[in-house]
Amino acid sequence: MSNREPVEIDGKTGQLNALPRQKGQRYRCKLDSMKDVRREMAKVYREARSGLVDIQDATKLTWCLQAVGKVIEGSDLERRIENLENKQ
């Protein structure tokens, strides 16, 4: 559980329980590298397996993350080609 997520303390057990996100509340996560995308995909998978996210929603989110990953790969490839061209 992230420190930025709203939580409540269970009065009987003393455990922290994550509160559901408010509609329209913006979700932030770092997606600057393939490692970040992979981490977020794993999180979506775990949330879907746990029943926290509907399978159809998880599928859509994963598809979006795959698209972000392709853009990162393309940008990285473009940067590498530019570096090689500048060396010659």
Residue 68 burial (CB count, 10 A): 16
pTM of the predicted model as reported, rounded to 2 decimal places: 0.67
What is d(CA 67, CA 76) in angstroms, rounded to the nearest whole number?
14
Q: Is 16 helix (H, G, I), strand (E, B) or coil?
A: strand
Q: What is the pLDDT along the chain (88 residues), one digit of tens a residue?
A: 455 677 788 888 888 887 777 777 778 889 999 999 999 999 999 999 999 889 999 999 999 999 999 999 999 999 999 999 999 8
pLDDT score at 13? 87
pLDDT on residue 40: 96
